Structure 1
Amino acid sequence: MTASYKGSCNCGAVTATFEGEPAWARQCWCRQCQKAAAGGATNNALFSIEGMVLNGEVSWSGYTADSGNTVEQGFCPQCGTPIFGRNSARKGSWVVRLGFLDGDHGIRPTTAIWLDEAPEWAVIDPELEQFRRQTPPPPAS
């Protein structure tokens, strides 16, 4: 059976349902994510948009990352809740902020990335697989 996850912003103007398990769940300490998370890391899961049902309007703001990819942050235009991230290198998938998901969804980060940019006061769970920058790309098939 395929899992189903539901999410909503603080005011309820944006809701979504995601079918299937995320490809991964990560904690990101890059500077852009720290800005999006008011100083801490973002906690994210990568879901296919194929199994997503989105209700409500999402506002997007983008920039060019150090990688050269276009990265966009999606948020509720009513209450400002951070909801999504999307990257031009990941067609067909969006990052979902774990705080957007409702209830105890059970998704936990397994990896911490961009630790080179984490502030000295950051507390990184030693149980997480850790990378100084981005994770290595998957092997070619």
Structure 2
Amino acid sequence: MTSKPITGRCFCGAAQFEVSSAPILKRACWCRDCQYLSCGNASINVVFASGDIVIKGELAEYASVADSGQIIRRRFCPTCGTQMFSEAMSQPGYIVVRVGTLDQPNIAEPTSVIWTASAPDWAWINPHVPRFEKHVEAVQE
């Protein structure tokens, strides 16, 4: 349990969340799906235990098969479109939270980068953190 809950919301505030635990991992992802969802950049994500998050408000969802072969359920605010969460159906104990939704984004500096093989030539990838050309399961990092 963290000393103070980690909170966040979508752009319009219709969807909000509170997490009662510290992040399990923090990473940047350069897969093509994340580039589409992040306007051409990497997505910056924090992974939490899914049982430690309380979500308030309505969310829409979209499920797709990622390059890793996993089915990913992505959830977003149906009002403002803010991408908020994703979950790999093969790892039901974890939820990925988009760092842009955090009220405390400074807790989320990436400690690894995945899917670097998909990054464009101009991408800046922190040379001081581990990098992986493809997908790495949350529990393996």
Give the structure-1-normalised TM-score.
0.91
Matches of 1:70 and 1:124, distance apart in 2? 26
Opposite residue 39 of structure 1, the aligned amino acid is G
Equivalent residues of 1:44, 1:96 under 8 A apart = yes
Equivalent residues of 2:113, 2:130 under 8 A apart = yes
Partner residue in 2 for 1:60: 61
Partner residue in 1 for 2:110: 109
Matches of 2:105 and 2:99, distance apart in 1? 10
Partner residue in 2 for 1:94: 95
Give the superposition deviation at 1:68: 2.5
Equivalent residues of 2:99, 2:105 under 8 A apart = no
Give the superposition deviation at 1:104: 4.3
Matches of 2:103 and 2:132, distance apart in 1? 28
Equivalent residues of 1:70, 1:87 under 8 A apart = yes
3-state secondary structure, aligned to 1:61: strand
Opposite residue 83 of structure 1, the aligned amino acid is M
Partner residue in 2 for 1:127: 128
Matches of 1:49 and 1:31, distance apart in 2? 25
Residues 68-89 of structure 1: CA distance to partner in whole angstroms, max 9, x if unpaired? 3211211100001110011112
Equivalent residues of 1:59, 1:76 under 8 A apart = yes
Opposite residue 39 of structure 2, the aligned amino acid is A
Residues 45-92 of structure 1: CA distance to partner in whole angstroms, max 9, x if unpaired? 111121111100111111112333211211100001110011112112
Partner residue in 2 for 1:40: 41
Residues 18-42 of structure 1: CA distance to partner in whole angstroms, max 9, x if unpaired? 0111110110000011011110000
Opposite residue 140 of structure 2, the aligned amino acid is P
RMSD of equivalent CA atoms:
1.7
Would the alpha carbon gap of residues 23 and 78 (structure 1) be closer, same or farther in structure 2, given more than 3 Å must change? same
Q: Where does structure 1 lack aligned partners over 5 or more consecutive residues?
A: none
Equivalent residues of 1:48, 1:93 under 8 A apart = yes
Partner residue in 1 for 2:72: 71
Residue 18 (structure 2) pairs with residue 17 (structure 1): yes
Alignment length, in residue pairs?
A: 139
Equivalent residues of 1:5, 1:105 under 8 A apart = no
Percent of matched pairs sharing the same residue: 37
